[in-house]
Chain A
Amino acid sequence: MSTTATAIGVSPKRGVWGGGNEPLKASYGKLMMWFFLLSDIFTFAALLITYISLRVSFPSYGGPEDTFVGSNEYWPVPELVFDAIPFIHGVHIPLAFVGLMTFILILSSVTMVLAVEAGHRNDRKDVVKWLLWTLLGGITFLSCQAWEWSHFIHGTPNGSLITYVNNMGQTVSEIVFGANLSVNEYGPVNFAQLFFFITGFHGFHVTLGVFLLFLAFYQAAVGVYEERGHYEMVEKIGLYWHFVDLVWVFVFTLFYLI
């Protein structure tokens, strides 16, 4: 055991990791956050590459835009599926709402990096201010996603005629509205399944991020970090929050552009 062990809070239930030097010039917490993020990159990459794989196993919709009808024979064009925005009913405004969501998330990433920068300067006021903006951005993004999901699930007023095998094992042909895990009006069943799973998993990460941000905001505001002598927690939560933004950049391209 190293002689500096007294500086570490030694508990009888835990061992002491007696490394003399700081490995990789990063604190324990930051290092572990990076390795967690690396594993999370692989999780999201597996999901998104599965999306690409299933996407190329279906033909794309090739016809003109104004005669688009959803069918499980071909993959839909995203700008013809995601074309609604709240409070404006029945108007075709492709991708505007999801673009807004992307802007909100990128801006919340910017305010997060400003909070980290303020943390380096031990500026409590600025940390609290920028964390509050980040928190606001995260909550707004989640609310937008809730609306997006709700609209996706309920569907368009006209629906589409889909022939599919239902839960009882019978082949049926009927007008389908909206989407669930066994049938949807937009495209192949995989389309809705992947949409729910990938944006859902991303949304789950954003939700966790909002909880962490609230924790950091509260602790910064009451002066926990000032007493601790550093704002490293803000930096670690910042890494996580930027990662969430990073994943969204890829989700946005694969789901809404391609």
Chain B
Amino acid sequence: MALQQNKSALEVMPRDEAKIKKIWKTAGILLLLTLVEFVFAFTLPRGLLLYVIFIALTIWKAKYIMMEFMHLGEEAKPLFYSIIVPLIFLVWLVIALIREGSDIFIMRW
């Protein structure tokens, strides 16, 4: 960060319309994906296929939020990987606890 100590007012740069347009486009995509989820919730039969679709759409939305809104893609590569790589542990946790839950289901019912 530059340690500039100029007391004068900062120079206001003009709006970059292309950048702002891209933000609104991303917003449109996020709202569209949510709408698609809604339509699926009422039209498709409940089941494993629907749940997989929902989770895929959710991760897709998460990708847009992290890459476009939080600008993670523009950070230095080591920072990018130090945020993304630890999330691999969650894959294990999901598999382990779904197995655990199904075993409890079998024991209980």
A residues contacting B by CB (< 8 A) are 7, 22, 24-27, 31, 34, 37-38, 41-42, 45-46, 49-50, 52-60, 77, 79, 94-95, 99, 102-103, 106-107, 109-110, 112-114, 117, 120-124, 126, 226-227, 229-230, 232, 238-239, 242-243, 245-246, 249-250, 252-253, 257-258
CB contact between A27 and one of B1, B9, B51, B108 (< 8 Å): that residue: B1
Question: B residues 38-69 with Cβ under 8 Å of A?
Answer: 38, 41-42, 46, 51, 54-55, 57-58, 61-62, 65-66, 68-69
- A52 pairs with B76, CB closer than 8 A: no
A-B contact pairs, 8 of them (CB 8 A): A41-B87, A50-B97, A56-B101, A110-B26, A113-B69, A124-B12, A245-B65, A246-B66
- A53 pairs with B100, CB closer than 8 A: yes
- B101 pairs with A57, CB closer than 8 A: yes
Instruction: Given the known inter-chain contacts A49-B93, A79-B41, A122-B12, please indicate yes or no for A110 contacting B23, CB distance below 8 A.
Output: yes
Chain B nearest Cβ from A94, distance in angstroms: 8
- B38 pairs with A95, CB closer than 8 A: yes
Chain B nearest Cβ from A209, distance in angstroms: 14
- How many contacting A-B pairs (Cβ < 8 A)? 146
> Which 10 A-B pairs give the minimum distances between C-beta atoms?
A53-B97, A56-B101, A122-B10, A57-B104, A53-B101, A121-B13, A25-B76, A110-B27, A24-B79, A57-B101
- A106 pairs with B13, CB closer than 8 A: no
B residues contacting A by CB (< 8 A) are 1-7, 9-16, 19-20, 23-24, 26-27, 30-31, 34, 37-38, 41-42, 46, 51, 54-55, 57-58, 61-62, 65-66, 68-70, 75-76, 78-79, 82-83, 86-87, 90, 93-94, 97-98, 100-102, 104-105, 108-109
Complex Cα gap A182–B84 (Å): 38
- A53 pairs with B98, CB closer than 8 A: yes
Complex Cα gap A52–B95 (Å): 10
Complex Cα gap A42–B86 (Å): 9
CB-CB < 8 A to A37: which residues of B?
83
- A232 pairs with B1, CB closer than 8 A: yes
